[in-house]
Structure 1
């Protein structure tokens, strides 16, 4: 049998970096989970055990901590860009780098109705994400979020679908629509107000989900993607994965009770998984920036 090493990369996964800015009475907090992956000609390490071109994963971890101190964390996208460009530009054997960052949100604790300067409480399950791919041909920034759980109690239907001998689902003209959204969007450049742009995209996603009447979750994803591209010119592509968090009417008839759409059973599995990609006309291809694309939560 003849075998060959087809592809390879290596890195340090899930380095937890918490950066606290203490240079004023009101402290600032950024809580990150950083993963790095380096690409280049490292075949000798795999085939012969020759580590002479390998920058240890331990060094990659240390670099993340040092950069958090030296450069701060203005946003996960900016931090990931700094790290990725450093590995490509400053480490000789490295020809490409990918840096994935998750940011965990914290809200300030209120004391007598006033935000406390240095105490926070973890905010929900939603996680902000950033992926930066750097190479000789440039840098691509992909931002996003996951576990953004949203629900609307009306304004959604699902009718007119294909049926066969195995179909039992009844048509619904007024149903609960809920999902735990995963979204990633690709920016047109790297010199952006990432925090401000992230907030705008998130706001558009939520307001569109709330305001637009939904004929199906598929249509809702298209409406959200189109709205983001219309409202945020910095975004050239957005990808979604949306599990349909089904809510079924609970049968209260055995108890002599009617249930006009008021009490539901929330089923966690199995679930429909709806995915979509919405691209601005004329947008350049993203290359391998989507290697770790959105998928099921």
Structure 2
């Protein structure tokens, strides 16, 4: 069965690809603003459209109730809630009059582990090890508020000299450590099986465009297919193949809303040799055809 013909030209805007673009803070690579400030800067109809961010975005809510969406998954917002949006993810704002909090934007290079001895050198900056959303306890909320206030003051200096830049980056690391502790508290104790599953998820994420086989993943992770399968089933409740399929489907969804590429082209990028195979795969995973998914996202 052939794929449906490509969509006709769509007058609605393409997905925004948002990059770090504050000239004043480009030398720092960090910006901290209030959610209410963002709502004042950008029209709500623009915010509501999906965007793919090319930096890390950390939202820490301190007032009100609301919602957000990351990679097409809804996230409830409440005081103490943290939403971690990784570079390359698709997000949608859901402006709410009573919701406020801190929005921390970070260029990706400032999330890399520091050079230094010992395994703790990069502690606190591995966003890929955090849940995509979690809640800070009261002590961490208070620490975040104090450090965020200091960072905000430093970034507001009339002149950002070398000392200001160094101070801002040190405060950033302290803020990330506060969130890292909150993320760790939100996760259950990690067993060897859990750690293997985490490595599996990261490996699938790195190799999503090649649709890796279970055998290839096991070989790369230095374990057996059966051990890997037990870890994935025990921790995530699904098979390794289902995990790969879910991540490939997410990448297809990102490409459908982020680019103008046809479904045929996206299927080829993701390693499907036949267009019909990609169509069946996507419909099985998403419940709709690629064209239906793209149209629904553009219509909001």
Of Structure 1 and Structure 2, the greater strand share is in 1
TM-score, length basis structure 2: 0.26
TM-score scaled to structure 1, two decimals?
A: 0.26
Higher helix share: 2
